[in-house]
Copies of this chain bind each other. A is one copy, B any other.
Amino acid sequence: MKRLSKKRKQDSHRLEALFNPKSIAIIGCSGDLTRLSGRPLKFLLKNDYPGKIYPVNPKYKSIEELSCYQSITKVPEPVDVALLIVPVKLIEEAVEDCIRAQTRSAIIFSSGFAELGKEGKAVQDRIARLSENSGMPILGPNCLGLINVQDSIPLSFSSALDEDSILPGSTALVSQSGAIAAYILGTAREAGIGFSHWVTTGNEVSLDSFKVAQHLLEQDAVKGVMLYLEETRDPQAMMEAGRIAKTIGKPLVALKVGRSTSGRRAALSHTGALSGSDAEYDAALQKAGIIRARHLEELLDLGVVLSSSPKPSGNRVAIMSISGGGGILCADRCEDLGLEVPVLSQGTQDKLSEVIPRFGSAKNPVDLTAELVASPGMLGKSLEIILNDADIDSIVLFLGGNRKNGEKLSLDIVNVLRANTNSKKKPVIVSWMAAPKEAVRILREKEIPLLFDGVRAVNALGRLYEGKTGAYERELPVSGTERSDLLKTTLLHMASSGATANGTISLSESVSKQLIAQCDIPVPDGGLAKTPEQALEIAKRVGFPVVAKIDSPHILHKSEAGAVQTGIEDEKALTSMFDQIINNAKNYCPEADIRGVLVERMIGDSVEMIIGLKWSDKFGPMVMVGMGGIFVELLKDVSLRIAPVNHREAKDMVSELQTAQMLSGFRGKKERDIEALLDAIVAASRIGADLGSDLVELDINPLFVLPKGQGVVAGDALVVLKSMEAT
């Protein structure tokens, strides 16, 4: 453990060197600063970079009065960061030179690597190994570099730096796409939004976006990190970044694009077909505690609101508006999102009535009317009154236009929020349509969350509230436990009875049920009968009516084979069914290994659900729960998480189901044993975590959920393992 923490410290130093370098080498620097390879120097000079700059290019003796070096190995000191702008064919040598010169970190701007096919991929892989072996972190290749806005250090050739100065801010942007990062920068600038850091990670040969995010989250100047992701190369780094964000209490927001991968979807298993790979990302981001933005505008909105707002302690929203219409717009959206807009208490209404005009409204939405522009202090006074109302958890303030009074109004807001300590626990989100420039400047400077649309303001508040309710302790995977070893041994025994096909082993229902029963998921009373006499014995023990079904690892579709019979009422029926089931099974699949007939007690009044497990190569074991029967197929009504999950997560999964109401005594039916259902989800998720990649799939379908207090029972189970030869 000590070594690990020493390594982390080293890594952290190296990243510090990358993000805040005291010395910079520019390898391949052009003497013509208008050229692409001259621009990084131009931008450093333009921003009065105070550290040392070493241009490296055998063609020049000096560039812009700076000595120019033949090679980085000739530079008089090891530099903090080397910027590499050299052709792909020279890259490996340049990286080796950097390592030789004890360079602390590097950025490769050049493109032409994995994105261009096999050959480029091979070069990229070799650079990755150089980075790994030397410990020198590399940003890129195929990226636009980074800008440390806080300290005015541009390490980029992006033309964004050509235009205006970059606005400083307190959130960092990390993007796998350089172009998108540049456009976000442009859009943000128009909205007066600044960044603390702007980082593009490109092909991520050594520095994964989540590793960058981890480093940035730990910086005092950074209040939150926004990510633009096309692919997660390092799921572990993602989990760790989420953990750090949670520990430090800063928001980590990610926009993950690339959902429309129609090809990949088809290849997935049944559970996979229902969840899809975007659902896996959803589950993984959720597990990591990372907030998912659904599109670019929302990424920016959440960056603004989440990094500068306290979390509301409840869902009661007061809307204050300069116009009736604005209040309605916001109230409508609140209701959509389950946020309450309660009528204000009489006390608060009385106080407000003394401040706002007679033709306004003190109820909620509070209509301050356009008079607020003419009446000095009216906005501030009413804001103060509502901040002090203990029955309100958050405030949305809707304003519009008012170029002449922008400064006055925004200062009024700033002053009240600064003076009133309740603003530390109650979010106040300002929505100001066509906001005047002066107001934007003031509110941004004071980090008061400002958006330009009422609905977007309420949307962001909704996510802020979600963050509050979803902030529970997640269970993180632990590998190599004693239980895990034990289970794997059991499995090894069971596998010998299974049916092998396509690198997988399917277990029969009875064997699958043995496994889940051992892991505390209840199965029906019953047993495996080799003869009609044994079947009768079992039926007598568990009591009629019973269910009888073929037990064979080769027959997975038992109904289709005519090899299952429910509701067998007496001995005679059972005896005749026994032979029929065996015969039907043999006709259906002559070469099937028939282990016998499984005889079980019939399960009465219940709600049918399904629990599934599957292995994701990217994210590891995943657990799914859904409403069974017609619902899962008709509505795709399922919820997916990375396994294991704890009780609280299981509860969230169930409450996400569109049909969750069926469990709570719907339509005069009895309330179901939800606690037992949650236990079963947790138990199943642990099987997934313990067995890891050995378990390809586990389906419990149906899982009968009985009335409250009576538990759950697995109606059927199917375990599919990875073939032992394949491991």
Known: A332-B258, A434-B187. A296 touches B400 (CB 8 A): no
CB distance from A719 to the nearest CB of B (A): 25
| Interface presence of A128 (CB below 8 A) | no
Beta-carbon contact of B295 and A333 below 8 Å: yes
Given contacts A183-B433, A189-B434, A635-B658, contact A296 B359 (CB under 8 A): no
Query: Which one, B111, B259, B630, B666, contacts A359 given CB within 8 A?
Result: B111
Asked if B401 contacts A433 (CB within 8 A), the reply is no
A630 to B635, CA, bound (A): 14
Given known A116-B359, A228-B325, A230-B328, contact A297–B453 (CB-CB < 8 A): yes
Query: A335 vs B278: C-alpha distance in the bound complex, in angstroms?
Result: 13
How many A residues have CB within 8 A of the partner chain? Answer: 67
A190 beta carbon closer than 8 Å to chain B: yes
Cross-chain contact B297 with A455 (CB below 8 angstroms): yes
The minimal Cβ–Cβ distance linking A279 to chain B, given in whole angstroms, is 14
Determine how many copies of this chain the complex contains. Answer: 2
Which 10 A-B pairs give the minimum distances between C-beta atoms? A186-B434, A179-B323, A183-B400, A177-B325, A183-B433, A180-B325, A260-B335, A295-B455, A257-B328, A259-B332
Residues on the B chain within 8 Å of A544, using CB: none
Q: A260-B332, A332-B260, A666-B634 are in contact. Are A452 and B295 (CB under 8 A)?
A: no
> A322 within 8 Å of B by Cβ?
yes
Q: Which residues of A contact B (CB under 8 A)?
A: 111-112, 115-116, 159-160, 163, 176-177, 179-180, 182-187, 189-190, 228, 230, 257-260, 262, 295-297, 322-326, 328-329, 331-336, 341, 358-359, 370, 400-401, 403-404, 433-434, 452-456, 630, 633-635, 658-659, 661-662, 666-667
11 A-B pairs within 8 Å (CB atoms) are namely: A159-B401, A163-B403, A183-B401, A183-B433, A186-B401, A186-B434, A230-B324, A257-B332, A260-B335, A630-B666, A635-B635
- Please name 15 further chain A to chain B contacts, defined as beta carbons within 8 Å, in addition to the given A177-B324, A179-B400, sorted by A numbering: A116-B359, A177-B323, A179-B322, A183-B434, A257-B325, A258-B328, A259-B335, A260-B331, A260-B332, A295-B453, A297-B453, A297-B456, A630-B666, A633-B666, A634-B659
Question: With A115-B359, A258-B328, A325-B228 as given contacts, are A667 and B401 in contact (CB-CB < 8 Å)?
Answer: no
By DSSP majority rule, is chain A's interface helix, strand, loop, or mixed? helix
Known: A179-B370, A325-B179, A403-B163. A260 touches B667 (CB 8 A): no
Q: Are B329 and A295 in contact (CB under 8 A)?
A: yes
| Chain B residues whose C-beta falls within 8 Å of the C-beta of A116 in the assembled complex | 358-359
By beta carbon, the residue of chain B nearest A164 is: B403
* Chain B residues within an 8 Å CB radius of A177: 323-325
A454 proximity list for chain B (CB < 8 A):
296
Known contacts: A260-B331, A323-B180. The answer to whether A633 contacts B434 by CB under 8 A is: no
